[in-house]
Structure 1
């Protein structure tokens, strides 16, 4: 768990909890230009200015950056002598900030972390302020980077990445565009369901994943169809955080394993690629995760009207499929430029995601993986 977590509105006053205990009170503020233009950075800047905190903004972080881009970013930002990192943005912004918190002044490189993340040590404190209700990066020990030479994404995993402070400020998601809300919330939902059905699931991760799933299942369609419903968006923000905590305690499975090649080569947004694969992976896994799916169905929808574990599992999978359809995420890989000729690359790359596939309750064969991809290549 992050050291401190606050949820509510107008939370920038809590920044002093981390900054004021540092001898070096200079702050590196990570964000992107879209977040700045929406006015979400202004309250943080106002806090810094009111408290005479020297800060520098870095807003040129690319979506889903490669490890090479993170290395270049490190060279750029270390010209500023900062004592704390504050990140306000989506998963890419927070992941980059978490990596910089491990790399600044460290005796190892990001290439070293790709080979062995256990050597990582946090070099500077970090504060995470999410602006999408999805990635859960503010609560995870993961940072995702692309490896261009392999055309695939890779997760660097280290408990040293856990933030020192998390601010779940609902003001940051009030104006979140519908398409981003949809993709990020389905991503968060996949975190909760995958962690609940993971081999590594624990009593703690299951309790957390169920709560996160209930927040998202019960609010995503309302938040999508009624943009002014602040309570529904707040629920998604909370659900995404719970999903991130569940990832740290348990870990995602085959949905994410098969998603990474789609993002790495075809640059399909992470939440979208997860949405495309979500139902199909759950259906393939269903015969070995019926008890888990049934239990989640009863927790999220206590009056679901189904009798028998299999019927409840089917019910939950149908809810997933209906959500993806209702929030208008396309599920045909052809629309993203994927062709049948790409099948060998996709299958080979997915099977290399052993960190995630080893969590999957069902051991997937090459034929299983290919079947899932072909089912969404219409």
Structure 2
């Protein structure tokens, strides 16, 4: 019997320079909406993007409110406290414009308005029964791919962990991919989010749930990112590189929606939860070392990646191709100035057992890893970064 694979993503995706300026022409599915909530960050309010959206909403006879105080790596308390401020209004449409945290919070606000469930209950596995308020998501970083995934990540400070909530109701009705929104990204964010996107695609390609659909998106994502990440970092105004990175990030989100990530992300979550290490930086540091731990189970897949991103000039052994690919990942982190030392974030030897135990408990991701890693295996990986 053949294996059955499923794939789902956002309802409508619009790509191209100037897509945001064209929002008015994309509002036809939401003609009945009268009141809109724009969810964003302080920076985007200053640079005029909120005003640009607001004018187009007004042209469509829609009123709007704005929330711009979404925290990076938001906690349950922050999300629920902020939601109490908006729950008094009958919003018909949500527009999230920002990085992954903003998009994830927009998803949560959407379903909170239509379901009798708290964020805390969602993290404990309570079902989200009803579709939320219609959503438009507009990413301004090229990393999470959140605009096309059914995932939302929240921070649990008491448990010093991040956790993913998954629901098909988190998929938006419209996505705008406009590379001009990413040209002013600082180098550090370009680097961390870019490597995060590459990690999404890489792990989706080697995961236990990899399939023909996810493979297509993962490989094209890695091809786009590998040819443009350094250019985007060194010359942020390179609109072609920025579009490659944005599309690569979105394809990575599509890949992980179908195949899921694995041990790299599982090990990254406690680093973010306990030491506030940015998710993309944690993934970048861990990727070469987790890959080495998995290597005897993924060499053939590694060879495929190496060939697709142009590392192989002729046919070589899978082991040699794997070594080339790991070396390339390390070179990227060096060129992008991503730290490779957990000590600089305050991590100590005595923290390793607790980190490893927490990572091993992220079973949704560890079970997706191609090789079973024990707690001791995980400890060894962390220690390579000390």
* TM-score class, shorter: over 0.9
- Asked if residue 3 in structure 1 is aligned to residue 11 in structure 2, the reply is yes
| 1:26 has 2:52 as partner | no
**C-alpha separation in 2, matches of 1:223 and 1:110:** 36
SS at match of 2:66: strand
Structure 1 residue 303: deviation in Å? 4.3
Aligned 8 A contact 2:35 2:92 in 1: yes
Provide the residue aligned with 1:90 in structure 2.
Answer: 99
Which has the larger displacement, 103-112 or 86-95?
103-112
Q: Deviations over 1:148-187 (max 9, x none)?
A: 2101000001111111100000110111111100000000
Structure 1 residue 50: deviation in Å? Answer: 2.5
Alignment partner of 1:222 is 2:236: no
Counterpart CA distance in 2 for 1:267 and 1:306 is 42
Name the counterpart of 1:332.
Answer: 341
Question: What 5-or-longer segments of structure 1 have no aligned partner?
Answer: none
Tell me the secondary structure at the aligned position of residue 158 of structure 2. coil
Is the contact between residue 117 and residue 157 of structure 1 (CA under 8 Å) also seen in structure 2?
A: no
* CA positional deviation for 1:121: 2.5
CA shift at 1:111, angstroms?
2.1
Please tell me whether the aligned partners of residues 114 and 131 of structure 2 are also in contact (alpha carbons under 8 angstroms). no
1:65 Cα deviation after fit: 0.6
CA distance in 1, matches of 2:41, 2:340: 28
Root-mean-square deviation (CA), in Å?
1.4
**Matched length:** 377
Find out whether 1:131 has 2:140 as its counterpart: yes
* TM-score normalized by the length of structure 2: 0.94
Looking at structure 2, the residues matched to 139 and 121 of structure 1 have their Cα atoms a distance apart, in angstroms, of: 19
TM-score, scaled relative to structure 1: 0.96
- Once the two structures are superposed, the pairs formed by residues 1-378 of structure 1 within 5 Å of their partners are 1-12=9-20, 13-14=22-23, 17-18=26-27, 21-301=30-310, 303-305=312-314, 307-377=316-386
Residues 45 and 258 (structure 1), Cα distance of their counterparts in 2 relative to 1, 3 Å cut:
same
In structure 2, how many angstroms separate the alpha carbons of the residues matched to 1:40 and 1:285?
Answer: 43
Q: CA deviation at 1:247?
A: 0.9
**How far off its partner does 1:230 sit?**
1.2
Q: Distance in 2 between matches of 1:106 and 1:147?
A: 21
Q: Which stretch shifts more, 110-119 or 172-181? A: 110-119
Give the match's secondary structure for 2:350.
helix
Q: Deviations over 1:72-118 (max 9, x none)?
A: 12111112221010000000000000111111141222222112254
Following superposition, the deviation at residue 361 of structure 1 comes to 0.2
Cα distance in structure 1, aligned partners of 2:260 and 2:43: 30
Three-state SS of the structure 2 residue aligned to 1:129 is strand
Q: Secondary structure at the match of 2:183?
A: coil
* Gap runs ≥5 in structure 2: 1-8
User: Matched residue of 1:154: which SS?
Assistant: strand
Output the CA distance in 1 between the equivalents of 2:313 and 2:42.
Answer: 44
Shift of 1:306: 5.5
| Distance in 1 of aligned mates of 2:14 and 2:103 | 17
Shift of 1:40: 2.7
Instruction: Name the SS of the counterpart of 1:149 in structure 2.
Output: helix
Helix, strand or coil at the partner of 2:277: coil
CA distance in 1, matches of 2:110, 2:27: 14
